[in-house]
Structure 1
Amino acid sequence: MTLLPLLFSVVLVRSVQSTVPLRSFKVSENVTYDCIDIYKQPGLDHPLLKNHTIQMKPSLSRHELKNQTSNNKTYKTKIKCPYGTIPVLRNTKEFNTKAQLLAAKYFNPLSADSPGTHIAGVKQHGGPYHGVEAKFNAYNLNIKEDQASYSQMYLGSGHYGEVNFISTGMMINPGIFGDGHLWTYGFWLGKSGKGCYNMACPGFVQVSNVVPIVKPLYLEGGDSASLQWAIHQDEQTRNWWVIQMSPYTYIGYWPKELFHLMDNGATMVGVGGVVQASHSGLSPPMGNGKFPAKGPLRSAMFSNVDVLYSKYEKGKINAFPIEEMLDSRCYGLRIGKRVRFWTSPLGFFFNYGGPGGISCGV
């Protein structure tokens, strides 16, 4: 079964209206976070989580992912909620309505032939997979209101038409957020086909008081934002964690109770870029808007792409055969051949992206 993330569904996130925030942070004119009691956060309202006990950090393990360092300015934060609270993005009724309308148009969970959807990346089938980690970058792009552009990592399982799926990364989606900025995001799809982006519905449990699952990344000019994130299934609890590797932060997790096909891992893992064309057929740019060429810095890149395999051993995604995904004449994919660049190891890496255009096909 070919699995694609629900790329263009609702990205709606909300504050808990019945909970008075202990503190609020206004990040920009239109972006405010409320600091909500961690035990009263919206994720815990899911009926499957009535008896759930919050896990404050992953279980200790010999397979624990190691810390990394970074001086990327996009990691500077303006949010630091008091101990015992977590940041929840505040938004308006108009925002929610717009997100729901766009969801009805873009919602297409499984079809590899989704009109206007173009992909450039790699994936692997088999498993069980217990995690994926990658370092990747994204750029300021001119994305129209009815377009979207994503950089993502994901895991999933399918069985007789049923799907479990989780994904995280960066996206530009002006039609939902009302701006052309990059935003981090997380997505899940679980039992009975239920799920959503970020904290649009109950399910995701936020634990970091500094790094929210959904966050704008403000860039200037041709700057890029770089993330090194991981999705990691806890060996003991089986919860699916989102971990920021640089600086090292446990952001939160999707509890195991939400899923019925991934208790012992996923059967598919992948990373790459995805775009959604406008209704006119005009496809947006992907990556940094350039085709991959010689030299790893000339286009957007995923590097150090690692997978946690069946016994939680960490290995490169190409340790077993991988499938390259590229379905458009307007985008490119170039698998890296070097193992080091300057003094930094790249591990398994690839470049991806392209300019888009009116002749990209469907």
Structure 2
Amino acid sequence: MKIFLGFVIWSVLSNGIHVEGSAEIDVMLKRLNKPAVKTIYSEDGDIIDCVDIYKQLAFDHPALKNHTIQEKPSVKLNSDQPGSLKPNSSKTIIPQIWRKAGKCPEGTVPIRRVRLEEITSASNVSQFGRKAPYYNRHLDIARQKSLLGDAFKSSNLQEKSEAFLLAVGYNYIGSQSHINVWNPKVESGDFSSGQIWMQNGPGDAFESVEAGWVVNRGVFGDSRTRFFAYWTKDGYKSTGCFNILCAGFVHTSKKIALGAPIEPISSGDNQYDIAISLFKDPNSGNWWLHFGDEIVGYWPGSLFSYLGHSAIVVKWGGGVYSSNVRKSPHTTTQMGSGYWASGLWTNSAFHTNIRIQDYSLQIKYPDNLAEYADEYNCYSTKLYRDNYKAEPFFYFGGPGKNPGCP
């Protein structure tokens, strides 16, 4: 009898039949996991569904009802990679482990399958795959607007601590960098990223496109470092999400899956990085995401208002997102490698090959950069070069809770 009962329980769980009250989750899983033409079981445990490119989740968005897929950018987006890119040997990585087990057929795109346990482990099911909103004062400063009142700035919406290199202008239509890959220790309910942001709009309802690496158990169900993208139209309030956990991003690559693990991880002299590029097509207005030399897909220009013209702020750095930042005791979630930025090469997380593009279509090192950290005693920054001819490196990160960040 006990054996039979155990078999029944196992059968119920494995076949997706859930306990009472899970109707919302069932609907969510059905909406996120579109029917697969082919399914690939990766040795790292991920399941990759090869979905018809015209039946992906993006087209559930009302603004994309009659959208025609743009197969590639209308102009070639050349990256600027100087010969003196790295002070020591560092390898740029692209391949994803799932590809060892198979390939997606023509006309399909690889979509990482969302599992029941990933949604149920989230602290807030209705907010699954989304960041908490916050006020972005750098955008209001860039737009020469007065800051909002102290009541808003001190609200509990400020659940983030970022450390970044900041470029402010009016016609940014592209950015890129190489980010070395780490696996920071992250507390339950928190997440930590190394990324690029491109933003425009008012500080309380900004628009943003973002990409890089992240450790986020609340979305992916584990502590692995994964490739991610993100977008929002209203400061994370009600639009946008990680990867393709909501309608919006149009996936075009059949080689790269958003949310797949990144390996290997940097350690000491063995440094590994990913090349990330975000570019707006000057003809279609779509915002394209590149992962190395691979074009992953795009956010349609119709999703945005302010970013429909350009970004006015570009940030390179990292972020820790937790309800226990700006508090005591502070979260122990690490940013970057967990080392301070002063640790430099072999110890600290970095961005290098930092470039922007404006409407001149030239890719160049940005002028008038500024370093910023929300909590300097918890996470730090350092823009550094070995000599005046060397390629600059922007180091960032830190341990979180420490004697100076109690």
Q: Shorter-chain TM-score category?
A: 0.7 to 0.9
Question: Distance between the aligned counterparts of 1:361 and 1:133, measured in 2?
Answer: 32
* Kept after mapping to 1: 8 A contact 2:182/2:336: yes
Q: 1:36 aligns with which of 47, 51, 59?
A: 51
Report the CA distance between 1:186 and its aligned residue.
0.7
Note if 1:83 corresponds to 2:98.
no
**Greater helix share, structure number:** 2
1:93 aligned to 98, 104, 116, which one? 116
Checking the alignment, whether the CA contact within 8 Å between 1:283 and 1:360 is kept in structure 2 is: no
Contact 1:15/1:89 (CA < 8 Å) preserved in 2?
Answer: no
The match for 2:79 is 65
CA distance in 2, matches of 1:68, 1:52: 38
Q: Could you tell me the percent identity over the aligned residues?
A: 26
Q: Could you tell me which of 195, 218, 225 is aligned with 1:152?
A: 195
Q: How many residues align?
A: 341
Question: Counterpart in 2 of 1:24?
Answer: 39
* Residue 349 (1) aligns with residue 393 (2): yes
Residue matched to 2:86: none
Q: Once structures 1 and 2 are overlaid, which stretch shifts more, 36-45 or 158-167?
A: 158-167
How far does residue 146 in structure 1 lie from its aligned partner after superposition? 2.1
Unpaired runs of at least 5, structure 2: 1-27, 84-89, 138-152
* Structure index of larger Rg: 2
Over the aligned positions, Cα root-mean-square deviation in angstroms equals: 3.1
- The alpha-carbon deviation at position 110 of structure 1 amounts to 2.4
C-alpha separation in 2, matches of 1:252 and 1:215: 15
Correspondences of 1:127-166 after superposition (within 5 Å)? 127-159=170-202, 161-166=204-209
Determine the structure 2 residue equivalent to 1:308. Answer: 357
Is the 8 Å Cα contact of residues 264 and 272 (structure 2) preserved in structure 1? yes
Quick one: which of 240, 244, 250 aligns to 1:195?
240
How big is the shift at 1:52?
1.0
Matched, 1:290 2:316: no
Decide whether the 8 Å contact of 1:155 with 1:270 is kept in 2: yes
Alignment partner, residue 278 of structure 2: 231
Check conservation: 2:53, 2:252, Cα contact below 8 A: yes
> Residue 338 of structure 1 aligns to which amino acid in structure 2?
D
Give the whole-Å Cα distance in 1 for the aligned partners of 2:165 and 2:80: 24
Contact persistence 1:217–1:225 (CA under 8 A): no
Say which of 360, 379, 383 aligns to 1:335: 383
Q: 1:48 to 1:294 in 2, by over 3 A?
A: closer
Q: 1:131 to 1:200 in 2, by over 3 A?
A: same
Whether the 8 Å contact between 2:251 and 2:296 is mirrored in structure 1 is yes
The whole-number CA distance in structure 2 between the counterparts of 1:294 and 1:21 is 46
Deviation at 1:207, TM superposition (A): 0.4
Match of 1:205 among 250, 259, 276: 250
Query: Separation in 1 of the partners of 2:341 and 2:227?
Result: 24
Give 2:295's aligned residue: 250
C-alpha spacing 1:229/1:359, structure 2 compared with 1 (3 Å): same
CA distance change for structure 1 residues 281 and 122 in 2, over 3 Å: closer, same or farther?
Answer: same
Q: CA shift at 1:98, angstroms?
A: 3.5
Aligned AA (1:337): R
Residues 282 and 358 in structure 1, CA contact (< 8 A), matched pair in contact too: no
TM-score, normalised on structure 1?
0.83
Aligned to 2:144: none
Q: Secondary structure at the match of 1:78?
A: helix
- Consecutive unaligned residues of structure 1, counting only runs of 5 or more, are 1-12
* Residue type of the alignment partner of 1:84: G
How far apart are 1:298 and its partner, in Å? 3.0
Letter in 2 for 1:57: K
